[in-house]
Chain A
Amino acid sequence: MAGSKRRRHGGQAVKVVITGPFAAGKTTLIRSISEITVLSTERGITDETRARKNDTTVAMDFGRITVDRDLVLYLFGTPGQERFDFMWEILGEGMLGYVVLLDADRPDSLQEAKGILDAFRRMARVPFVLALNRSDGIDDVEEARIRQTLDVDGSVALVPCDATDKESVKAVLLALLYSVLDQVEAAPAGV
């Protein structure tokens, strides 16, 4: 299935996936920018992760941005817990790219992010960006640590962001869209 689906009367719908470790702020990010009430199927947490948050996304988040009359951008947030990783491929199908949301306050979540990112790389050959939530800037040392841990080179954008701030979320999405644009433009003609 193509990511840019025909929608309504000839309109199109495209899809971006927001993924990342548990409690990284994926739901918040989508809520900050979606024009509709996010379909967040959150449930109370019953295991040891309760210490970090009270509810978690057990199915998906779903957000919508109407770009213009004929174009809609859908945002799909993945569940953060591994037992729901079967959802990733379903949610990822047809996406034009994905955002891996990291948590600056939890350096230990980088290993969790690495597992998710590796799974997504195996699953999808589409552009992605890294977004470091709860961060207003990234120094060289921190960036090097993140890239080394995740095995991501400098060609992949790493964006500091605040998932509660709409402008910050816009910057993350723009970084991804520019990456996708780069990919499209870099593709050799006729291939």
Chain B
Amino acid sequence: MKLEGSLDAFSLQDVFQLLSLTKKSGGLHLANGQAVGVVYFDNGAITGSVSDASQQALARRLIGMGACDDAALRRAVERACVEPVGVARALVESGGADADVVREHALDQTVDSVFDLLRWPEGDFSLAVGEPNPDDVGIAVPAEKVVAEANARREAWEAVSRVIPSPDVVLVMPVVIADEPGVGRDEWALLALVDGRRTVGELVEVSGAGTFAVVSKLAQMVQRGLLSLADDDSTDHVTLVHRRHLLLAPLEPASATGSPHESAPEPLVRTGRDADGGGAARQSLAPQADPAPRSEPAVAAATLAIPLVGGAHAPREVVPTRHEPFLPRRSVSHPESPPVDAPAAVPSADTRRHPPAPAMPPPGVRTGVPAGYPTTATGTMGAAAAAPNADPTIQPDPNLNRSLLLRLIAGVRGL
């Protein structure tokens, strides 16, 4: 069996609806140029999703959140290299990561990647029936719930992208802020990563918390004045302080020795992109071989610079350099899926309270009984009800009501 097509003919939401309604299991592969994403279904529910199939998205998220240590990660990667399992699942199964924590992140990762996939303007899809989710960690979310959440994020994204227009934006922490700062733990985790050099895209990468969550939080902090967008033309606070201290030199003889530029150290951390194309000169805090004597203002400025710009830590590689475990490309061969037993729906009392009203059959419809044909008095459902039908699996939908049907009728009439 084959299910494939183009996203310009079928929206991703329609495809999800189809797979959900028919309780399909397998991997829905989406391709848009070089980008390849996969959404995994099990019995019509979504068990996971990646918007970039070349990466271990869930594992990256766990790493960013500090949910596993090096040894557990190494073991999981070794297993994922030789078995058809994802690193996150291997972590869970080996006890290297807490299963509940992983499931929580898996849910958010799934919504995040569907949010990414829904923003694809075009692409192709193909269902590999029965393909298991290599990172199945035990979540199964109704497709409509994932889509609703992803759509809500899409709407919120417009406002977020007005504040942070590009993943290439660099953020800095202002030294002076208007109000007393108040931040949550998640926000603190991001503030600690803002160093005046990393782009927003890099912050998303190293935090592991997903594009929407990270950029939304950063945008909120920009709006609250806790962060600001680095401007190539602006002067960072430390340089500004140096310059103004020098203006005090005529009144402070001790600071007037030598040229200001000779005595003042380089700022420990530069904000914004440096002249070398984005890389910032970063001085070590260790004593230099030939340290120049520092004037008091310079020391004061250096002291100021450490905690005020870029957080207290020196940046280092949060994500260890390594190649992703090899995931064999799935061939688009579609074995037949087994039939799925449908759960029976029981009519509720709510749908059976509508007073009878005459319904107008459309023109040309023959509902009369021809002469000579035996009749039964079983109403519209007479034929179906009279048939041998001991225990039909599919029952009338309890959610059906007169209002819904009248809307349907009006809609079809108006086509």
Contact = CB atoms under 8 A, between A and B. Distances in A.
Interface of A: 1-9, 12-15, 33, 36-37, 39, 41, 58-60, 62, 64-68, 71, 73-74, 76, 86-87, 89-96, 118, 121-129, 138, 140-141, 143-144, 147-148, 151-160, 166, 170-171, 173-175, 177-191
A147 B373 contact: yes
Interface of B: 1-3, 5, 9-10, 13-14, 17-18, 20-23, 44, 144, 147-148, 151-152, 338-343, 345, 347, 349, 351-357, 359-376, 378-390, 392-402, 404-413, 415
Given A36-B10, A140-B371, A175-B365, A122 B2 contact: no
Pick the 6 closest A-B CB pairs, nearest first: A67-B411, A154-B369, A124-B394, A3-B397, A93-B342, A187-B352
A86 to B, nearest CB: 4
A189 B352 contact: yes
**Interface of A (DSSP majority class):** mixed
B401 to A, nearest CB: 7
B373 A181 contact: no
5 contacts: A14-B408, A124-B394, A127-B381, A127-B384, A151-B387
A144 B147 CA distance: 49
Nearest to B404: A4
B1 A41 contact: yes
A160 B362 CA distance: 12
Given A12-B404, A158-B366, A124 B21 contact: no
A71 B414 CA distance: 14
A95 B394 CA distance: 8
Contacts of B413: 170, 174
A86 B341 CA distance: 10
Contacts of A160: 364, 366
A36 B6 CA distance: 11
A64 to B, nearest CB: 6
B394 A92 contact: yes
A36 B17 CA distance: 14
Contact of A180 (B2, B338, B360, B400): B400
Nearest to A67: B411
A161 to B, nearest CB: 8
Given A1-B343, A67-B408, A68-B411, A151 B383 contact: yes
Contacts of B362: 170-171, 174-175, 178
B412 A183 contact: no
A95 B117 CA distance: 29
Nearest to A187: B352
A51 B151 CA distance: 48
Contact of B412 (A138, A173, A186, A190): A173
Contact of B17 (A7, A68, A187, A189): A7
Given A93-B342, A155-B376, A178 B359 contact: yes
Contacts of B353: 189-190
A157 B23 contact: no
A171 B365 CA distance: 8
A94 B10 contact: no
A184 B402 contact: yes
Given A127-B384, A154-B375, A174-B412, A3 B399 contact: yes
A29 to B, nearest CB: 13
Given A73-B412, A148-B373, A182 B380 contact: yes
B387 A122 contact: yes
Contacts of A89: 339-342, 393-394
A27 to B, nearest CB: 15
A157 B364 CA distance: 10
B355 to A, nearest CB: 7
- Of B368, B369, B389, B396, chain A has the most CB atoms within 10 Å of the CB of B396
A181 B406 contact: yes
B397 A4 contact: yes
A73 B411 contact: yes
Contacts of A129: 365
A13 B17 contact: yes
Contact of B21 (A1, A158, A177, A189): A1
